[in-house]
Structure 1
Amino acid sequence: MQFKTRIAHAIVGALLTGTLLHSAPTYATELSAVETQQVNAQQAQALGLAVPYSAKVPTIESVLGYPAASRISSPAAIEAYFVKLAEQFPAQVKLNYYGKSWEGRNLYYVAISSAENMAAFANFQRGMQQLSAADKTSAQQANKLIAELPASVWLSYGVHGNEISSPEAAMLTAYHLLAAEDEQTASYLNNAVVFIDPVQNPDGRSRFVSRYYMTAGLEHSADRHSAEHNEPWPSGRSNHYLFDLNRDWIALTQPEISGQVEALLENMPLVFVDLHEMGGDSSYYFTPEADPYNPLITKKQRETLWYIGENNAQWFDERGYDYFTREIFDAFYPGYGASWPLYHGSISMTYEMASARGHVFRTKDGDILTYGDGVQRHFVASIATIEAVAQQRQQLLKNFWDYRNQGIEAGSDSKQRVYLFAGQQDPAATQRLAGLLTRHGVQVQQAKEAFSACGVKYPAGSFWVDTAQPAHYMARTLLDKNIAMDDKFIAEQERLRANNLPDQIYDVTAWSLPLMFNLDYQTCSRVPRAENQLATEQLVKPGTVLNADAEVGYIVPWGDMNAGRFLTEALRAGLTVKRTDLAFTHKNKQRYPAGSLILTHAQNAHLTAAVQKIALSSGATVHGVDSSWVTDGPNFGSNNVKLVHAPNIVMLWDEPVSSLNAGHSRYVIEQQFGYPVTAMRAAQLSRADLSHYQVLILPSTYGSLSSALGENGEANVKKWVENGGVLITFGNATEWAVQSVLLNSALERVINENPQGHGSEKKVDGLLIKSKAEHMHYITPDAADPYWTAGVLTNLDVDLEHWLSAGVQPNLISVTVGNQIYRPLSIEHGRNIVSYSKDVLASGYLWEENQQQLAYKPFLMWQPRQRGMVISFTQEPTYRAYLDGLNLLLLNAIFGGAAHATPLR
């Protein structure tokens, strides 16, 4: 068709000789009519589409002062362009802000459609809400909505800040939709509302852009080894707290994603596309996805993904663009932007473009890939997707309704229809789970009275989720303890391993929120008969003080994040807080667990008002006491009751630390615990006077910590620990603690019951190989590491006879990633506080050999070193900031560790 006619080599990359490559963006003044026509003609040529464009629509150059794709636009410049479009075309463009990034940049999307559709935009939103509410909307009403509503597509660009081409394509897409004067584009806008989120990660993009232009010289370098193509730590991929935002769609911890989810639930778009970049030696990837598919994705959804992919292919074929599908980027893990909308009935997918990671890049084949190439292909893919959505308007609406209705039916027929959470085990985690599920668009009920269900009694305040609801599949994928991968896929992975080939598992294979929050739940086939109300999005329920006018002081029972937040806020407020190592029974007949906090009037002025304020904000339940008398366990003045000092925390930062784990850890401590962290680079840590700090945290690393710290750094840390410091290591930073002999453990190789020495002599004894299995065993190195796992949920057993486990449940769940397995500490060196259970696997798929070798191996070790100590987690307790069930262990390590160390004061 004429609309798709290719203009030979009319690519945006041809504009890279623009004069503004290294200058700051200069927002242009108003152009004359002749100048406007010239600029629009250049823009049309850059788009590569043989259609006329209106001179009334501002181009990128007319607003920002430089041609499209001649500069990597900053978030501020991109926002300025969309603000201009919204101001100039209010009848067709609606600009909506949904939050701010950590660094204060705006998060927003625009909705673009025909003037008629946008005049009825509020009706469109109401209509989609009605269509999504399949439990309240009749089939007759749904059919009327399907006949009348426009389709909708949500295009999200730039979730990774250093994937640079898609936000520029977002501007071109908006320009084209408004300026193109052809019937086909008009039909797109008549049949669909197009949502554009131009920059999902403005902080990361800003970081990339500023650093990139600092390295640019007279000419841009295409050398992949140049400074232009190698970002300093941390790269622009992540946000302010160094999160990979494309993994935050389960936990919703970051404003960039939680705000977008809220906007998606408000608009319920039928199709969602997340536009990314990948290595520069690739081509272009679009749907359909690789195996495995999440089993909660329906056949109809997969067919639609295939249809959209085929339409993209037609566009790419006409332009001679290479692409591939189905080889990588699976649709199993629901925590991606390109997966999450699927479980509400939308169609969602990932597009990936080979990245120039700058203006020009020389591929391994010697070709020059330009920034403009990426912009052009993302633009073409965007328009092709909009076309597919517009063409399938009614079918997409019907499929959406059917999915939501099918969810109700599936829940009604399930023997595990209802998931029930009593909340007594961990009130803070239960409240957070209910609020988080609600934020995901799942209906959660809270009982106003006590009730029984399937033979179990539940107190008032308990929560339940009836899966017979439109968000059935979202509830299932978040709550089910295990989502199984396809048997054929698993069999293929085992076949690959048997042939010493890498597996195809792309990301974690387990993610159950109740397991990660360490919460038990029960299921029932019947909905409880109890007065109830819908749960809210509230993550922390305000706390309370019982016997607020207590004469002696207050006790905060330890055991959840409410108490943890109370502790950090009290310390930051300057209150004197004690912490008991052992459980005790007070005169009031209340039993208090180990770790409980004690605050007395004798040691704190104006305590009552402070406690009431902190209880309210933290969620803690505080017990006022009129006596210090204890009938069982340690008294308030016992040596088993420690003063909790407000520790200064320093964290190793920059290379060779994993930016993700550093960011996750700092976020958990600062934003979830509410306590500040100082970041320090290895060079400074090696020579700094650390006596000001009581706690040092070493996050996981990707390089040699020994090389980064050197002998002087190792000696400095050792001396500091021995003088009373608390060293906490995460993940493979624990290996450095072992190598430096701060921790008397050892890293294990793979179990090899029958080593086959390969020999280095020119001639060796003859070897009889009787089978293919023996052959594969022989060619495996004798000193191989255990097999790598992408990530599973594992069972842990807790030694409750130590202050590090105060208030912790006897069994925990953790994510286990990688292949590091450590030997337990012997008793003369320290304690293994948390170990892997005999039955290691809680959820996901873990190789049999790893399960056998991990059993009873340490997850958390404690070793005293003179006046200080080493506390080592063999995995990352802050992984993606969604392991809420491990937060109490980390609180104990930081604040309990500081309380038990004995530095000279």
Structure 2
Amino acid sequence: MRFLYAFLCLCITSFSFAQDNLKYYLPANISYNSSIPKPESVIRHQVGEWHITHDKLVQYMYAIANASDRVTIQDRGETFEGKPLVLLTITSKDNHNRLDVIKANHSKNTNSDNFKSDQPIVVYQGFSIHGNEASGSNATLVLAYHLAAAQGNEIDALLKNTVILLDPSFNPDGLQRFAYWANTNRSINLNPDPNDREYSEVWPGGRTNHYWFDMNRDWLPVQLPESRVRIKTFHEWKPNILTDHHEMGTNATFFFQPGIPSRTHPLTPQLNQRLTADIGKYHAKALDKIGSLYYTEESFDDFYYGKGSTFPDINGGIGILFEQASSRGHIQESSNGILTFPFTIRNQFIAALSTLEAAQGMREEILRYQHDFYKKARQEASAEQQNAIVFGDPKDAARTYHLAEILDRHGITFHELKSDISIKGKDYKKGYSYVVPKNQRNTRLINAMFEKRTKFQDSLFYDVSAWTFPLAFNLNYDETISTSIAGDKVEDLKKKTGSVLSKSSYAYLMEWHEYYSPKALNTILEKGLRAKVAMKPFNVDGRDYDYGTILIPIQNQKLDKDQLYDFLTTVATGSAINIYGVTTGLTQGIDLGSNQFRALSTPKVGLLVGNGVRSYDAGEIWHLFDTRYNMKLSKLDVGRINRMDLSRYNVIIAPSSGGFNGGVVKALKSWTEKGGTLVGFRSTINWLKAKKFINLELKTSDRVAKDITYEQRGNYSGAQVIGGAIFEVEQDRSHPINFGYTNSKIPMFRNNTMFMKADKQSYNNPLRYSKNPLLSGYISKPNLDSLAETVPYKSKRLKGGKVVVFTDNTNFRAFWYGTNKLLMNAIFFRNQL
């Protein structure tokens, strides 16, 4: 048996690479233009022999574009690591000569009541948004070659009737990281043993981008550079079909949509799912032909509009998810036999071709679907002719701006607020608020972004069940106001500028409300300047100042008063905040020399990373510090932490994790007891509790399944998961953890079932879930009852230091701007907690 097994592996290896392996992938009986370079002539290996690196992938795509009049290539931007984000446009030569006309006519199909069927269909094909799901990007080598070089009436008809937008790598940084891993661990004699190092990436793996984000959750928030270029392309073209090529577990087969019918978002038309199923018949036929197993209408859903396969569904297109069983390297044992990398590539390529076949075969029907989608949307919008949404924060222009920025990226029209108003007890200030008319083409997308939903057909979700944007940004908003409050249409969105409003010889004051105030304070402290925080409100020179106001005195600074003014002017401009000079320390309330102004020190922050840490959570924190607040953050690998000098840090953040070994416990406890502040998130709380870093009580569930069959057990358990919903939390604004917030309640995102009991002393519960906390999303009744009046935050002393814990992710997916300041408050005001 061992000999037979070895012989089979040798045959697979030899078959894959000992010949022109393009024949393994390409359709039979098609001739190819010899002037078009084959992949191996450029990348110096055959497709599937090695994992393609992003630099070689781009090199080949440029070679194809240079050699073929069917292909043009566009460099649309770059990743955090500077890798190009390229897009190929593939269509007939004649179509290329009038591409602007085709794009304009395609756009008219979404804006006019008149339907024209005599135009090409637009198909956006995107690959490997998860970098370690690499068969997709590797398949683009074959796909690009085939579309550029294939000859005959069939390809001519396809290219005449189709504009193909080929995005060969949604995630260049992750693809490069994974290719390095797979290739550096590849043996000459391919080994399918799943225990081999090749199939177990080191932390954080290649799935994510540079800052460890899952970019397939960013289509709607659009916070990352890779997302921004593809969303710009999407809205320029409004593709009829968008495909998103992924991988799944090694023991699976191949999945294509539609997914589970009951888990489709209610705003998605039913016809969308029927057309998806009709397209699926083309995939089935193609996979049947090569003998590949597959399934559909299971596992995956079409609910969250922030995924590549679902985002098109709210934009008049049809999104299709492909999931291929992954070899996770070059060859691996599976329950379906030996799974080779070339096999996975071939399935992705075949699905890409069947998509194009479906697009051509169903062209008029799909074009009409998109036309009718927008026609009906305009009718819905017209019924709300005078209705609009207003959102903003009278104390924070930056958070308001960043939500408007997302609307702008999605082509949504909005206006300035005509004048200051108050609606239902909420204030809206001109320059700090925007008005969104509902009567516009993208009205359905607006509804998807702003809706609050608490009723659902199904209780299971593949991803989050709520993402209401004004709640994520913690902004005041109202969906029932008139367009009469709208001022000028915003044509060129610009950030509010900051300044020092008056020069002082006594002191400067900076309120803590603005989103970028932590960036400003950190810059001030890093300069070696003295700053204090106000523990109580006060009034000076006729202006009210809230909890958390920052005081920068003139005396005993390393800069003289003129230098200080110049420096603070630079700080205010760079952080888009206002700083006020005052002439006296005598106030109404606490005077500026009061002990209620507490001295602040520069944060020296470490972030635990490495095995056991949830990389998504760690990456969100790294991204927040590095790209938003310009704060230095040391990433501390837990495998080395007991050999580090931790005295360099006064704050260490422990993202969500399953806990760490004894050496980490000893090092962190010793450091904390000597005066450090340890900030723990989510599941790390269990470890901190077990290792006696902090004493707290957690609620436990005593649910018992009754009348649940064996077949139903998965659905029952799944219904108890909080996949991602939004809840109301009551705030004690006098507590330093809440400095900078202006309302008595805040929306918080939660996707776990950790319920922390409140302290008996009410003043120790500055954040507390309300009695009826659900604002948007799904939660089971038992979990909702358990959550009510629990707390998401605690802070307790550990000898000379502090342990601060949050049950919830305050930095979720980079777009949850509304709770970022909770973490910043824990860092800057750590000695006041």
Does the pair score TM above 0.5? yes
Give per-residue Cα distances to partners, 1:212-247, cap 9 Å, x unaligned.
222223422212222111111111101111111111
Question: Which is further off, 440-449 or 169-178?
Answer: 440-449
Give per-residue Cα distances to partners, 1:787-834, cap 9 Å, x unaligned.
432221111112233222212232111221122222334549x92331
Task: Determine if contact 1:18/1:66 at 8 Å carries over to the other structure.
Answer: no
Task: Determine if contact 1:750/1:785 at 8 Å carries over to the other structure.
Answer: no
Task: Determine if contact 2:725/2:776 at 8 Å carries over to the other structure.
Answer: yes
Q: TM-score, normalised by structure 2?
A: 0.92
**Is the alpha carbon distance of 1:411 and 1:285 closer, same or farther for their aligned partners in structure 2, counting shifts above 3 Å?**
same
Match of 1:226 in 2: 196
How do 1:30-49 and structure 2 match up within 5 A?
Answer: 43-49=22-28
Out of 827, 834, 846, which is 2:767 matched to? 834
How do 1:730-745 and structure 2 match up within 5 A?
Answer: 730-745=681-696
Segments of 5+ residues of structure 1 without an aligned counterpart are 1-11, 20-37, 491-503, 756-771
Q: TM-score, normalised by structure 1?
A: 0.85
Match of 1:558 in 2: 512
Structure 1: distance between partners of 2:386 and 2:438: 8
How do 1:630-779 and structure 2 match up within 5 A?
Answer: 630-633=587-590, 635-701=591-657, 703-705=658-660, 707=661, 710=662, 712-751=663-702, 773=706
1:460 is displaced (CA, Å) by 2.8
Task: Determine if contact 1:687/1:713 at 8 Å carries over to the other structure.
Answer: no
Question: Which is further off, 529-538 or 45-54?
Answer: 529-538
Structure 1: distance between partners of 2:32 and 2:65: 18
Match of 2:300 in 1: 329
Give per-residue Cα distances to partners, 1:440-466, cap 9 Å, x unaligned.
221122134457889998543331111
Structure 2: distance between partners of 1:253 and 1:530: 27
Match of 1:123 in 2: 101
Task: Determine if contact 1:751/1:853 at 8 Å carries over to the other structure.
Answer: no
Match of 1:598 in 2: 551
Out of 41, 54, 59, which is 1:80 matched to? 59
1:885 is displaced (CA, Å) by 1.0
Q: Secondary structure at the match of 2:327?
A: coil
Q: Secondary structure at the match of 2:632?
A: coil
Match of 1:629 in 2: 586
How do 1:722-871 and structure 2 match up within 5 A?
Answer: 722-751=673-702, 773=706, 787-808=720-741, 809-827=743-761, 831-871=764-804
Q: Secondary structure at the match of 1:79?
A: helix
1:331 is displaced (CA, Å) by 0.3
Question: Which is further off, 719-728 or 842-851?
Answer: 719-728
Structure 1: distance between partners of 2:778 and 2:740: 30
How do 1:519-598 and structure 2 match up within 5 A?
Answer: 519-524=475-480, 526-528=482-484, 530-534=486-490, 536-538=492-494, 540-547=495-502, 549-586=503-540, 588-598=541-551
Q: Secondary structure at the match of 2:723?
A: strand
Task: Determine if contact 2:394/2:428 at 8 Å carries over to the other structure.
Answer: no
Out of 217, 225, 238, which is 2:208 matched to? 238
**Is the alpha carbon distance of 1:624 and 1:571 closer, same or farther for their aligned partners in structure 2, counting shifts above 3 Å?**
same
Q: Partner amino acid for 1:64?
A: I
Structure 2: distance between partners of 1:150 and 1:569: 54
1:679 is displaced (CA, Å) by 0.7
Structure 2: distance between partners of 1:60 and 1:847: 52
**Is the alpha carbon distance of 1:716 and 1:318 closer, same or farther for their aligned partners in structure 2, counting shifts above 3 Å?**
closer
Question: Which is further off, 812-821 or 42-51?
Answer: 42-51
Give per-residue Cα distances to partners, 1:502-524, cap 9 Å, x unaligned.
xx421111111111111221122
Task: Determine if contact 1:411/1:417 at 8 Å carries over to the other structure.
Answer: no
1:785 is displaced (CA, Å) by 13
Question: Which is further off, 260-269 or 441-450?
Answer: 441-450
Out of 139, 145, 168, which is 2:113 matched to? 139
Give per-residue Cα distances to partners, 1:306-336, cap 9 Å, x unaligned.
2211121121222222111110210001111
Give per-residue Cα distances to partners, 1:180-215, cap 9 Å, x unaligned.
112111111000111111011111111111122222
Structure 1: distance between partners of 2:588 and 2:577: 24
Task: Determine if contact 2:547/2:733 at 8 Å carries over to the other structure.
Answer: no
Structure 2: distance between partners of 1:340 and 1:786: 24
1:554 is displaced (CA, Å) by 2.1
Provide the aligned length of Structure 1 versus Structure 2. Answer: 813
1:574 is displaced (CA, Å) by 4.1
**Is the alpha carbon distance of 1:531 and 1:699 closer, same or farther for their aligned partners in structure 2, counting shifts above 3 Å?**
closer
Match of 2:335 in 1: 364
Task: Determine if contact 1:738/1:745 at 8 Å carries over to the other structure.
Answer: yes
Q: Secondary structure at the match of 1:331?
A: coil
1:272 is displaced (CA, Å) by 0.6
Question: Which is further off, 167-176 or 249-258?
Answer: 249-258
Structure 2: distance between partners of 1:572 and 1:394: 62
Question: Which is further off, 114-123 or 809-818?
Answer: 809-818
Q: Secondary structure at the match of 2:210?
A: coil
Q: Partner amino acid for 2:129?
A: V
Q: Partner amino acid for 2:782?
A: E
Q: Partner amino acid for 1:718?
A: K
Match of 1:479 in 2: 450
Match of 2:83 in 1: 105
Structure 2: distance between partners of 1:415 and 1:181: 52
1:622 is displaced (CA, Å) by 2.1
Match of 1:608 in 2: 565
Segments of 5+ residues of structure 2 without an aligned counterpart are 1-10
Over the matched positions of the two proteins, sequence identity in percent amounts to 27
**Is the alpha carbon distance of 1:308 and 1:683 closer, same or farther for their aligned partners in structure 2, counting shifts above 3 Å?**
same
Out of 290, 296, 321, which is 2:267 matched to? 296
Q: Secondary structure at the match of 1:591?
A: strand
How do 1:19-30 and structure 2 match up within 5 A?
Answer: none
Structure 2: distance between partners of 1:458 and 1:218: 66
Structure 2: distance between partners of 1:467 and 1:785: 36
Structure 2: distance between partners of 1:467 and 1:110: 35
**Is the alpha carbon distance of 1:121 and 1:546 closer, same or farther for their aligned partners in structure 2, counting shifts above 3 Å?**
same
**Is the alpha carbon distance of 1:284 and 1:785 closer, same or farther for their aligned partners in structure 2, counting shifts above 3 Å?**
closer
1:280 is displaced (CA, Å) by 1.4
How do 1:375-454 and structure 2 match up within 5 A?
Answer: 375-414=345-384, 417-424=387-394, 426-450=396-420
Match of 1:765 in 2: none
Q: CA RMSD in A?
A: 2.7
Structure 2: distance between partners of 1:718 and 1:101: 38
Q: Partner amino acid for 1:476?
A: N
Q: Secondary structure at the match of 2:106?
A: helix
Q: Partner amino acid for 2:544?
A: R
Q: Secondary structure at the match of 2:803?
A: strand
**Is the alpha carbon distance of 1:453 and 1:741 closer, same or farther for their aligned partners in structure 2, counting shifts above 3 Å?**
closer
**Is the alpha carbon distance of 1:630 and 1:786 closer, same or farther for their aligned partners in structure 2, counting shifts above 3 Å?**
farther
Give per-residue Cα distances to partners, 1:144-197, cap 9 Å, x unaligned.
xx3443211001001001001111111211111111112111111000111111
Q: Secondary structure at the match of 2:467?
A: coil
Q: Secondary structure at the match of 2:73?
A: strand
**Is the alpha carbon distance of 1:54 and 1:15 closer, same or farther for their aligned partners in structure 2, counting shifts above 3 Å?**
farther
Match of 1:18 in 2: 17
**Is the alpha carbon distance of 1:558 and 1:186 closer, same or farther for their aligned partners in structure 2, counting shifts above 3 Å?**
same
Match of 1:51 in 2: 30
Structure 1: distance between partners of 2:733 and 2:486: 37
